[in-house]
Structure 1
């Protein structure tokens, strides 16, 4: 069975956490082997029109590259990095940490843990304060 449907469920949790204003951070980690890219960090930002965008920061051995995308456009970007080279995605929310992992057979699974962060991201807190 392919891991893509499980990753799509994980992405629904990401979107729900933004809608519920509990999103703290999203990280792709645990690479296969020694790769140029080390991590990808995702966080919400507000553009000049107060529209939420996602900042995608790719951290390489020698540099960081930041790009901005709509929430829907961020999904295929992150999905393209799963399995090549990343084996896990971690969603940190104020309610729980949601972990998507690929095992050795490349089957996906989602687990939950107690929350690491007590507060949502700064942009989410700003949106709550503005009643957005």
Structure 2
């Protein structure tokens, strides 16, 4: 069974947390073996004219590469990194921490835990104040 439907469900939680103003951060981590790409961090940003975007920062052994994308574009960019090289995606919200995990058989699961962060990201708070979300 493919893990893609479970990752799509996980991404719905990402969208929901942004719309609800509870999003703190998203990290792709736990690589398979020693890879050049170590982590991917996703954080919200407001571009010119209060346009919402996601900053996707790929952290390699020797450099960091940042790019900006819409919510839907970010999903298309991040999905292929699941299972190659990442086994875990962690969504931190003010309501709970949601973890997407792939096991040894590459079956996806979603686990919810108590929240790590008390406050949403500064950009999410700014968007709430401006009435964008």
Q: Normalized against structure 2, the TM-score is what?
A: 0.98
Structure 2 residue ranges without an equivalent (≥5): none
Within-5 A mapping of 1:19-98: 19-98=19-98
Secondary structure class of the residue paired with 1:49: helix
Q: RMSD across aligned C-alpha pairs, in angstroms? A: 0.5
Q: By how many angstroms is 1:47 displaced?
A: 1.1
2: CA distance between counterparts of 1:131 and 1:56?
24
2: CA distance between counterparts of 1:69 and 1:49?
16
Structure 1 residue ranges without an equivalent (≥5): none
Deviations 1:70-113 (A, max 9, x none): 11100011101000000000000000000000000000000000
Q: By how many angstroms is 1:12 displaced?
A: 0.3
Deviations 1:19-42 (A, max 9, x none): 000000000000000000000000
4+ residue runs over 3 A deviation: none
Alignment coverage as a number of residue pairs = 132
2: CA distance between counterparts of 1:61 and 1:127?
33
